[in-house]
Each structure stands twice: as C-alpha cells, then as structure tokens.
Amino acid sequence: MDWTDRHCRAFHRTLSAQTLLYTEMVTANAVIHGDRERLIGFSSFEHPVALQLGGSDPDTLTRAAAICASWGYDEINLNVGCPSDRVQGGNFGACLMREPELVAACVAAMKAEVGIPVTVKCRIGVDEQDPEVALDALADAVLAAGADTLTVHARKAWLQGLSPKENRDIPPLDYDRVYRLKQRLPQVPIIINGGIGLLEEVEQHLAHVDGVMLGRAAYQQPELLLNVDSRLFGGSDKHPDAFAAVEAFEPYIAAHLDGGGRLHDITRHMLGLFTGRPGARAYRRRLAIEGVKPEAGLDVLRAAVDEVRRAEERRALVA
Ligand SMILES: Cc1cc2nc3c(=O)[nH]c(=O)nc-3n(C[C@H](O)[C@H](O)[C@H](O)COP(=O)(O)O)c2cc1C
C-alpha cells in the first residue's frame, strides 16, 4: 500500500515486460462502494497485473472479485499477510492465518464467480502458531478450495507488539519452511517472498520454488527489473539501460501532466532509480525539491537524469 499504485506499476512495466505486477491491497468493500477509477483503474499496458483484495467475507469478496475481473485484471490475490491493526480490526490480513476454513470459503466463492486465477498471499504463521502446522493448514484449505497459487512471505507476523514495518523485518525469515511446503506439494505453484534483493538470490530460490516476489528491492532499486526478462524469463530486455527506460516512459508522464496530474505523482516512484551510481543523490535531490512543485514538468526529470549522465561522464574522464 502507498507504493504500487498505477503510476508505479506503469514505471515497473516499462522496465520489465514479463514480471507479474501487483496492485496495492484494496479492500473488497472499497471496490464495491468506492471510486473505482481511482481505486482499481489501470493502463492496459500494465498486463500481467494482479489485483490484491483485503477482506474476509465470502460474499463481499466475490462481488469485489467479479468487478475486478470485469475490469480486466489477470489475477485476484487475497491478502492473508498484512499485520496492521486497521486490517486486524476488519478481521482480515495476517490474522486470517488462524482461520483457514474461512479463507478457503472466500477462495471457493471467488473461484466460483471469476474465470481468472485466484491466489493467496500469506505468512508462515502468526504469533504463537507453529509454522509447520499453520502454513500446511492454510495451504491445504485454500488449495482444496481451488486457489491457483500460494505466495508465502517467509516469516511470521506478530500481531501484538510489532508495527507493520517491524513485522517486515524482525520476525526471522525461514525460507526452508517455504521450500518444505513446495516439496510436500510439488504440483502447486509456490512463490517465495521476503528479504530477497538480488537476481542471484532469485535464481537460487528458483531452484526450490516456482516464483519469487520482490517487494522493497523492486521499489527501492527498480533498475534490477531491467534485466529480469532476459535473465529469468528467457526473453529479451526492453531497454539497454535506465536512461533508455526513462526516455521510453516520458510519453506516459506527458499524458499524465496533460491530464492535469503532477510530475511528483509519478516521479515519487522513480527516486530509487540509479541507486548506487554516481549522481544518484543529485538526481534524487532534484526530484525531491523541484519535482514536487505544482508546475514541475518533464524538464525537471530530464535535468535530474542529466545529473547522473554527467556524473558518469566525469567519472569516465577521470578513469
Ligand atoms: C510500504 C509497503 C507496503 C506494503 N503493502 C502491502 C500490501 O498492500 N499487500 C501485501 O500483500 N503486502 C504488502 N507489503 C509487504 C510486501 O508485499 C512484502 O511481503 C514484504 O515487504 C516482504 O518482502 P520484501 O522483503 O521483498 O519487501 C508492503 C510492504 C511495504 C514496504
């Protein structure tokens, strides 16, 4: 949430053709009652894109899933991993790890309604649960209900005492637990998630499971997406480097500006580009200071990118 909005996804799609992109979690009630264009609107070139729903009432989820399927999403993913208080108050997210049968009822109801894959993203357990028992129980229940894929954030969530941010770092990662799930259910597509930041690591995980979900790494260092099409999908990369990718993204940004949108709506998701390169700090500074002004246009982005280009040229001269 707050990160993979449609502009972020449009940017990431510019970097990689084949990666499956996920929306932010949207509650089923919001889909039914809210401003749909704002909440679930997306651009056709974002495909393949999965919409993540939050909820725990089978009927409400089914109505929401049907709406999302009719909007053209490629997959409905149910959130069984979010630990925030707000979500627990609504009895969904990670606390559903304690209620496999309810999650299964939600999955079965959605599967009966929509023709696209219905998938689940979960933790290995919550609080005092034994992950050996809890993950199997959740997996078996939702798979029996027809879930097509299981994505597992390979750590527990502690529902009392840790903030959502702490719940992404403090409970220890247990990749072996996810590998064991795959060994027990070899025919089920299992995607692993949590703390994975390099394509080398992705490749290592792919020896054990079917897919890898990147959260923070993809957002904070989006440049790594430039190579996944060739390296992981056996295709060819869309762009030779980040400079070319930004250029290719300009028409999307221009259309947003023409429609009255702000540069920062989009460039806030691009701050991580060029991370670790000379000039990256100047790039970020320009976007953070000039890019937030209401009148900021593409020239600000171009000037920011030029900071990196010039810094690289200077470094090449010195070398
Ligand atoms: C700002 C932020 C928002 C997140 N929002 C969601 C969300 O809406 N739904 C979800 O399933 N996970 C959400 N997550 C969790 C990530 O999808 C992922 O499971 C977690 O960060 C661990 O993976 P990583 O180490 O690759 O980031 C969020 C993470 C962050 C940092």
State which amino acid sits at residue 313.
E
Q: Which residues are annotated as a binding site for FMN?
A: 52, 121, 153, 193-195, 215-216
Among residues of the chain, what percentage have pLDDT more than 90?
95
pLDDT greater than 80 at residue 86: no
Residue 319 confidence (pLDDT): 77
Q: How far apart are CA 285 and CA 290, in angstroms?
A: 8
Does 82 qualify as catalytic in the annotation? yes
Point out which residues pair with 211 in neighbouring strands.
191
Active-site option among 8, 82, 95, 122 = 82
Atom of ligand 1 nearest to the CA of 197: 26
Return the bridge partners of 291, or none. Answer: none
Among 138, 218, 217, 215, smallest CA distance to 178 is for 138
List pLDDT tens digits, range 33-58. 999 999 999 999 999 999 999 999 99
Amino acid 121 reads K
- d(Cα 228, Cα 237) in Å, to the nearest integer? 7
**Nearest protein Cα to ligand 1, atom 17:** 215
| Helix (H), strand (E), coil (C) string for 270-314 | CCCCCCCCCCHHHHHHHHHHCCCCCCCCHHHHHHHHHHHHHHHHH
| CATH-assigned architecture of domain 6-231 | Alpha-Beta Barrel (3.20)
Residue range(s) of every CATH 3.20.20.70 domain in the chain:
6-231
The atom number, within ligand 1, closest to the CA of 193 reads 23
Cβ burial 33-42 (10 Å sphere, 16+ → b, else e): eeeeeebbeb
pLDDT tens digit sequence for 7-23: 999 999 999 999 999 99
What pLDDT is attached to residue 87?
Answer: 80
- What average pLDDT score do residues 171-187 get? 98
pLDDT-based confidence at 97, cuts 50/70/90?
very high
State how far the Cα of 291 lies from the Cα of 287, in Å rounded to an integer. 4
CA 182, 120, 133, 86 torsion-angle sign: positive
**88 falls in which pLDDT band (50, 70, 90)?**
confident
Report, as an integer, the average pLDDT of 205-233.
98
